[in-house]
Amino acid sequence: MTIKEVAEITGISIDNLRYYERIGLIPAVPRTSSGIRNYDEISISWIDFVMRFKKAGVLLETIHEYIQLALKGESTKEVRRDLLIETREGLEKKMHDIQETLDVINYKIDTYEQKCGPITDELIASWKASKGGN
């Protein structure tokens, strides 16, 4: 698959695909005999992996470290597992924090009229009175 096709499929710009490969965020993409990138299923899988982690807010340094370890092979299996466990724990903490914030927002929405309506009405009346208006 060409880089243009991969960009269309993934929604990642051609420049970003090249950049991610250059910095080692995705492993080197196979090339044709004339040097043109020829993305295969493995390349697409790596891109999907990286984008999922990136979308979840995993640091690029962590993703890069994992990719580089994976390229070293079986000898890094335990280190990669530990890195995944650490990443999972960080994501679980982030999810917990987001859920707590969402709970507060939901509470505020659910009680908005009872708590904010009277205050807003009072402020509007006070403002109108100070302006000498109706």
Task: Note down the domain range covering 126.
Answer: 89-134
Domain count for the chain, please give it.
2
**pLDDT reading at 68 higher than 70:** yes
pLDDT in tens, 78-125: 999 999 999 999 999 999 999 999 999 998 888 877 776 667 777 888
User: What whole-number distance in Å separates Cα of residue 92 and Cα of residue 32?
Assistant: 42
- Measured CA angle at 121 (ends 129, 134), to 5 deg: 30
* Domain match, 66 and 102 both: no
Per-residue confidence (pLDDT) for residue 116, from 0 to 100: 66
Residue 84 within any structural domain of the chain: no
Per-residue confidence (pLDDT) for residue 111, from 0 to 100: 84
Give the dihedral sign, CA 56/61/65/67: positive
Residue 7 within any structural domain of the chain: yes
Whether 30 contacts 43, CB under 8 Å: yes
- Measured CA angle at 9 (ends 19, 38), to 5 deg: 60
